[in-house]
């Protein structure tokens, strides 16, 4: 079946630190992969996406590369800011089934 | 610039009471969804509507009903609330189906059932 596993949080970093949030997936077909971000008190927003193997999604300084060989889609940012404090969700879409599968979310807190 | 609008943002109910969560989108999207978010559980799909006039069950539909009133509006009803329905509820919409992955979410409705 389809599933997404994210690293457990919370993750706490100092401003300008390097961020990695791990995400691995299990899929029956050829999924698209996404990272969503949820800022405090808000709904989820699409942060970036990748639709096929070796694609790199990027937005707002965040990047993630679709690695089919390791079934991973890790989120990275070279220098985090306080404003990046949020919950990050990895997700997988199965176009055949027409479904989207979310990971459990990783809370990131960035201190000044 | 409204996007997806949900009401109410907060609600407290007693066990057995009923209520309806309202959702409207102004992006002319075909598909609409209701999710619940619980700590450590991520998002779980309750019901969805692929197009006006159709609704289908998601992963956790028990205890809920939905109505796709028109293309813009998709409501979620709790007929007899239970403490297990304490959660944050999110409405979302998309141009294509959920499988395309690009959803737009409302700000959420926090429901507490005592």
Nearest to A91 among B101, B106, B107 (CB): B101
- Cα A80 to Cα A14, A28, A93, distances in angstroms: 8, 34, 27
- Which residues in chain A are contacts of B98 at CB distance < 8 A? 93, 98-100
Compute the C-alpha angle A79/A83/A88, nearest 5°. Answer: 80
Contacting B residues, span 81-100, partner chain A, CB-CB under 8 Å? 90, 92, 97-100
The answer to whether the CB of A22 falls within 8 A of the CB of A6 is: yes
In the 8-state DSSP scheme, what is residue B12? E
| Residues forming a β-bridge with A14 | A111
Nearest to A94 among B90, B99, B103 (CB): B99
Look up residue A1 and give its two tokens: 């079946």
**A98·B97 Cβ contact <8 A:** yes
End-to-end CA distance of chain A: 41
Task: Please report, in tens digits, the pLDDT of each residue of chain A (112 residues total).
Answer: 889 999 888 999 999 999 999 999 999 888 999 999 999 988 899 999 999 999 999 999 999 999 999 999 999 999 999 999 999 999 999 877 778 899 999 999 999 9
């Amino acid at each position: 079946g389809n599933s997404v596993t994210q690293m457990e949080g919370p993750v706490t970093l100092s401003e300008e630190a390097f961020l990695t949030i791990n995400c691995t997936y299990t899929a029956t077909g050829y999924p698209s992969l996404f990272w969503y971000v949820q800022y405090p008190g808000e709904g989820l927003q699409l942060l970036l996406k990748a639709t096929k193997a070796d694609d790199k999604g990027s937005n707002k300084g965040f990047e993630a590369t679709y690695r089919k060989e390791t079934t991973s889609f890790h989120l990275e940012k070279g220098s985090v800011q306080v404003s990046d404090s949020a919950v990050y969700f990895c997700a997988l879409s199965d176009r055949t089934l027409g479904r989207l599968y979310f990971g459990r979310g990783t809370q990131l807190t960035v201190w000044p | 610039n409204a996007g997806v609008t949900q009401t109410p943002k907060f609600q407290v109910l007693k066990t057995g009471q009923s209520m309806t969560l309202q959702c409207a989108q102004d992006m002319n999207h075909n598909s609409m969804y209701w999710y619940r978010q619980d700590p450590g559980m991520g998002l779980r799909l309750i019901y969805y509507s692929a197009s006006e006039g159709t609704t289908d069950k998601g992963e956790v539909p028990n205890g809920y009903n939905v109505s796709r009133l028109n293309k813009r509006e998709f409501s979620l009803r709790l007929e007899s609330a239970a403490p297990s329905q304490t959660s944050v509820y999110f409405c979302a919409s998309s141009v294509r189906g959920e499988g395309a992955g690009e959803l737009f979410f409302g700000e959420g409705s926090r429901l507490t059932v005592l």
